Amino acid sequence: MCDGAHLAKEWAQILPGTSAELAFVPREDELRARPPGFRSLGHPFTPEGLERLGANDEDEFAVIADDPVWLRNAVAVIGTALPTVPILVCSDFLAADELPMHLCIRLTGLREGIRHDFDREFRHLANLHRVAQIQRLFIQREKVAILLQPDPDPDGIACGFALRALLGRKSPTAPLVSFGEAKRPENVAMIQALGLEVRTIDLDQLEEFDGIALVDVQPNVFGDPIPARLQNVDLVIDHHPERSGWSASIRDVRTSYGATSTILTEYLTAAGLEIRPRLATGLLYGIKSDTQLLGRDTETQDIEAFAAVHAFHSPALLRRIERPALPLPGLRALGRALATTRVEEGIHLLVLGRVREDVIPQVADLGLQAEGAEWSIAAGIVGGDLVFSVRNVGYVRAAGEVVRGVVEGLGIGGGHRSMAKGIIPVKAFRAKYKRADNATVRRALFDAFVRAIHES
Ligand SMILES: [Mn+2]
């Protein structure tokens, strides 16, 4: 139902659908107007005019007008006859709080909606433009280094993988490289599960490449002053705070984004490239781990990119990354710890003895499922260190703070609200507690945690 012949003509282009009944209320000077496909409800709009539509409360109304006074009258007339009928108000000149009273009513704007779609399309176009520039930049290059940060994290790894796909290359002509090998368990697990290789190289080995692209990192990370070879590179795509002192032929640094994987997902989407399950899973995990599942520093773009890759990811592969296979000795150590487990003062502490490092965070995840546990701590000896992972239910003191209290003067530690990690050299532990057997570790950590949790 349109206010006036002019709007009706405009909507005649948009609405024709077999189930839509098109009607308009002519203005005073439009009594003879006949917009194609529209029937006139007479002027002014009254209950008698509405009756011409023969509508009942099974129908839905779209009321299209720019004049708030006309709108209020139209909604009142419809609402009196059909108090429960759904009404969609289309107006670009009505604020949400000016919407007339009705049981089921919703406001949308036409021109605003089109502008919104346009903005969106232009954002895609800007990404497509960037993709074309990047592809053109590298097309003649023999061998391109895709450089990640040392001990590359999931976001960096996924971005390297995505950039290579975007360039249409394979690892021999576009290897993922890093100056420090992947060490953290989640990073290693991701590289393995995706079947990727990250070559550890030194600065001199960059000479074998005639193209350098940095993803999820800027040249400043590699030294102060920045090594000469990295002061001027081909491409930098990143989301960390923008630093100076370097240049790139193409730079795309979007500091408001939660993950660089979001930028690469936008590239792939804009370029209309197929995102295969392995790549989609990598990007999904990249976004997920950098934003802590869309919690921290997350933009609308991150959520949209997450949804885009979620549609193509492989749940089985994601599970392999997030829940890497546990070694049998680690499971036996867990069995021994569980045999005598207890929850005291809300703390569930499992001491595993000597284990592979990646077992510890997984046991900490598991431990939080114990009845009555508000805190879960898993500890084990890795090399010469006592390593422990901490989880909590989220409504208690921040895990990172507590761990910093526990390791104070002994080792290092930190983390976030509900996840944290601490490392104490066994030597330092022994110097303070005499022994480092499981029972001593348990007692010492338990007391330290109780103190740190209740500290004001
Ligand atoms: Mn990142």
Per-run averaged pLDDT (10 residues), the chain, 456 residues? 92 73 93 89 94 93 92 95 95 87 91 87 97 98 97 96 97 97 87 96 96 97 94 97 96 97 98 97 96 85 97 96 89 96 96 94 94 96 96 90 92 89 96 95 95 84
* Cα(155) to centroid(ligand 1), Å: 5
Between the CA of 378 and the centroid of ligand 1 the distance, in Å, is 27
CATH of 123-321, one of 3.30.70.580, 3.40.50.300, 3.90.1640.10, 2.40.50.100: 3.90.1640.10
The rounded Å distance from CA 178 to ligand 1 centre is: 15
Ligand 1 geometric centre to CA of 96 (Å): 38
Rounded distance from Cα 327 to ligand 1 centre (Å): 29
Alpha carbon of 41 to ligand 1 centroid (Å): 59
Alpha helices by DSSP H, listed for 348-414, are 359-367, 399-407
Of 273, 278, 314, 286, nearest to 135 by C-alpha is: 273
d(CA 23, CA 50): 10
CA distances from 344 to 68, 336, 352, 412 (A): 64, 18, 18, 25
Give distance in angstroms: CA of 196 to centre of ligand 1: 18
Handedness of CA 119, 125, 131, 137 (dihedral sign): negative
Distance 444 CA to ligand 1 centre (A): 36
* Ligand 1 center–CA 174 separation, angstroms: 20
pLDDT computed for residue 456 by the predictor: 56
Query: Rounded distance, CA 306 to CA 261, Å?
Result: 9
CA of 83 to the centre of ligand 1 (A): 53
Burial (CB < 10 A; 0-12, 13-18, 19+), residue 273, is middle
Q: Could you tell me the distance, in angstroms and rounded to a whole number, from the CA of residue 361 to the centre of ligand 1?
A: 21
Q: How far is the CA of 413 from the centre of ligand 1 (A)?
A: 21
Tokens of 145: 């280094």
The Å distance, Cα 355 to ligand 1 centre, comes to: 29
289 alpha carbon – ligand 1 mean position (Å): 9
Name the CA dihedral angle for 195, 290, 300, 244, rounded to a multiple of 10 degrees: -100
Give Cα 77 distance to the centre of its chain.
46
Strand, helix or coil at 218?
coil
Expressed in angstroms and rounded, the spacing between residue 330 Cα and the centre of ligand 1 is 31
- Rounded to the nearest 10°, the torsion over CA 369, 373, 377, 380 is -60
Q: How far is the CA of 406 from the centre of ligand 1 (A)?
A: 29
Task: Determine the straight-line distance between the first and last CA of the chain, rounded to whole angstroms.
Answer: 64
Distance 359 CA to ligand 1 centre (A): 25
Supply the pLDDT for residue 15. 66
Output the CA 216–ligand 1 centroid distance in Å.
5
H helices of 299-437, where? 300-310, 315-322, 328-339, 359-367, 399-407, 426-433
Spacing, Cα 156 to ligand 1 middle (Å)? 6
Judge: domain 328-454, CATH 3.10.310.40: yes
pLDDT for the residue numbered 16 = 61
**Cα distances (Å, whole numbers) of residue 305 to 154, 171, 260, 261:** 16, 25, 11, 8
Q: How far apart are CA 419 and CA 368, in angstroms?
A: 11
CA distance 296 to 182: 24
Show the CA angle centred on residue 138, arms to residues 133 and 140, nearest 5°.
125
Distance 170 CA to ligand 1 centre (A): 23
Q: What's the 177 CA to ligand 1 centre distance in angstroms?
A: 16
- Expressed in angstroms and rounded, the spacing between residue 93 Cα and the centre of ligand 1 is 42
**Domain spans of the chain, in order of start:** 2-108, 123-321, 328-454
> How far does residue 261's CA lie from ligand 1's centre (Å)?
7
286 alpha carbon to ligand 1 midpoint, in Å? 7
> Which tokens in the block code for residue 221?
């990370």
CA–centroid distance, 160 to ligand 1, in Å, is 11
DSSP state of 242: P
Report helix, strand or coil for 24.
strand
Residue 110 has a pLDDT of: 76
What is the value of pTM for the model shown? 0.81
The predicted structure's pLDDT at residue 153: 95
What distance in angstroms lies between residue 278's CA and the mean position of ligand 1's atoms?
19
What is the CA(257)–ligand 1 centre distance, in A? Answer: 9
Instruction: Specify whether the CB–CB gap between 106 and 85 falls below 8 A.
Output: no
Distances from the Cα of 127 to the Cα of 117, 123, 240, angstroms: 16, 6, 19
CA 429–ligand 1 middle distance (angstroms): 34
Q: Alpha-carbon distance 181 to 203, whole Å?
A: 14
Phi, psi of 169 (to 5 degrees): -115, 170
